Chain A
Amino acid sequence: MNTLDRPSARGAGVERTLRSLGFGLGLRTPHYEQIVQTRPNVDWFEILGENYMVPGGRPLDWLERIRADYPLAMHGVSLSIGSTDPLDENHLAELERLQRRVQPAWISDHLCWTGVGGTNLHDLLPLPYTEAALSHVIGRVAQVQDRLGCRILLENVSSYVSYPSSQMTEWEFLAEVARQADCLILLDVNNVYVSSVNHGFDALTYLEAIPVERVQQIHLAGHENRGDLIVDTHDRSIVDPVWVLYESARRRFGDVSTMIERDADIPPLPELLTELDRARQIAARVDAEQERAAPRRAA
């Protein structure tokens, strides 16, 4: 299966061209065997591409076996689209190789930078939301999309700092990047919540500013509330306020591929399947409400 589409001319008829894959999970090593043996009720998996940028061996073997049964999307953490370093040619080549091997439904990374001067901090660092940063990112997204031959998805990150030099809000910046670079959005609902608390903005205002037609995927995850700040740890269950925000996101963005990320203290697969069922239930409730409301609106 290859549902990748080529980027359209800038500004030309934008639509969510990739179909929803339903409800997925992040593919993690402790679950490989169970996934292959039991084929759990997961509609698709998201892989961390960097984990499979190795020459061969067991990781790629598992990947191919799981790929045979499930659609996969490729997610990345080191494109560093906002860094002032040149784009890493070696990384792009690895990304292309993996893209050819996996034939993913789509490829995503983060709207952030991860290091500068040849160093990688292995973190998703926030950009200042300035015209200069916007112009910088847009040019680089175009390079990546040309190289990969498809639109990419960029994800909003959790952040702990903001910059007085910013000239626009994060949501304005994200929407402008998507519009001007003609890329799609991976909306991380947990990250919206985390940053809304850390920076004191209204999470619903954020959601309402994001162009519906650009949102191709939604992330859900858990975090750690340290009192003074919330830290995006992906090491625990999703909290209720994030579920509430997801409900709002479903209402606004409709049937968008949704998945749960868990990167530390990874629980047994059934626990994540239960969490995924909660996402399904919320989506079903919202969809049913909207269906019921539709005839009334028509009347």
Chain B
Amino acid sequence: MNRSGQHTAAELAGLQHEFQDYVLEREPAVLARVRGTGAADAATRMNVYAEGYALRLLEALETDYPGLKAIAGAEHFEALGRAFIAAHRSPYRNLRWYGDRLAPFLAAAPAWSGRPDLADMARFEWAMSSSFDALDACALRREDLARIAPADWPRLTFTVHPAVQRVVLHSNVPAAWSAQARGDRLPPLLQDPHPTTWLLTRRQLQVRFRAMAPEEAVAFDRLAACAPFATWCGELGAMVGEQLAATRAVEYLNQWLAEEALAGLTIP
């Protein structure tokens, strides 16, 4: 490209940066480089883009976070959404991923951190979305386990299904989420000093969720970290008593199989 060409290519980049700066920050430099004609001056025309930008991102957040909107109220939701948008540009090609940092933002932003249920709900709903369109995989079946020789069981490790999510919550936001999904009145939001681990699974492409007992959550954590069956069974024994451990481990495994929470097994 010749010198003149380089100059104009650089001008194209400069124009795009100035245009974008107006959309994001209302920096006025671009107004001198766009034409205002007829019924609308340059600022009126650029504002279509600037206002459309925030509205599109707000709409994306509304799609991903209906429960958050329900517990925050429409006005507060818009305020927190606009604050998030002001703080987070989108690097994504797909708006599906834009809200990924909303929960940590709500937990840290002074304006919202006083309501930990908001960050809890955002965490919960993001986990729901992550499960919804996670990678497909065949679920482990009871017959697969039936083929394992007793001698191999202690070494057995499992692979968790890609659609499984676990989320630790300090409030009853799943109940609030269910209420808004049904169109029911929201329950009072309660904080619990003791966190609860929620297990999200996907069966027939439908995301389901339930609270886990503390010992079940620990067992699942260890299983997900590829600890051998004997290891996490032994740790379970430390929590529920050795006599109950084997029974409890089998109960858990049966439930996880029924929930399609497991996708594979390995005998090292």
Contact = CB atoms under 8 A, between A and B. Distances in A.
B74 interface: no
Contacts of B9: 84, 132, 135-136
Interface in A229-253: 229, 231
The residue in A115, A163, A199 that gathers the most chain B C-beta atoms within 10 A of its C-beta is A115
A191 to B, nearest CB: 14
Interface string A70-90: 000000001000011000101
A123 B93 contact: no
B98 to A, nearest CB: 8
A41 B52 CA distance: 34
Nearest to A122: B56
B46 A161 contact: yes
B163 A164 contact: no
B20 A164 contact: no
Contacts of B105: none
A128 interface: yes
Contact of A116 (B16, B92, B96): B16
A84 B44 CA distance: 25
Contact of A121 (B23, B44, B131): B23
Interface string A185-211: 000000000000011100000000000
B8 A161 contact: no
Nearest to A120: B90
Given A56-B133, A116-B20, A165 B92 contact: no
Contacts of A128: 12, 15
Nearest to A127: B12
Contacts of B134: 55-57
B48 A118 contact: no
Given A119-B89, A161-B35, A229-B48, A57 B95 contact: no
Contact of A57 (B13, B93, B163): B163
Contacts of A136: 9, 12
Question: Is chain A's binding surface mostly helix, strand, loop or mixed?
Answer: loop
A271 interface: no
A7 B215 CA distance: 61
A51 B95 CA distance: 9
Contacts of B40: 160, 198, 228-229
Contacts of B220: none
B49 A57 contact: no
Nearest to B17: A116
Nearest to A116: B16
B155 interface: no
Contact of B12 (A118, A125, A133): A133
Contacts of B19: 125
Nearest to B202: A57
Nearest to B89: A119
Interface of A: 50-51, 53-61, 78, 83-84, 88, 90-91, 94, 113, 115-123, 125, 127-128, 130-133, 135-136, 160-165, 198-200, 227-229, 231
Interface of B: 1, 5, 8-9, 11-13, 15-17, 19-20, 23-24, 33-35, 37-40, 42, 44-46, 48-49, 52-53, 56-57, 60, 89-96, 131-137, 162-163, 202, 205
Q: Would you list the 9 A-B pairs with minimal beta carbon distance, nearest first?
A: A132-B8, A56-B136, A54-B133, A57-B133, A84-B13, A78-B93, A55-B135, A228-B39, A161-B34
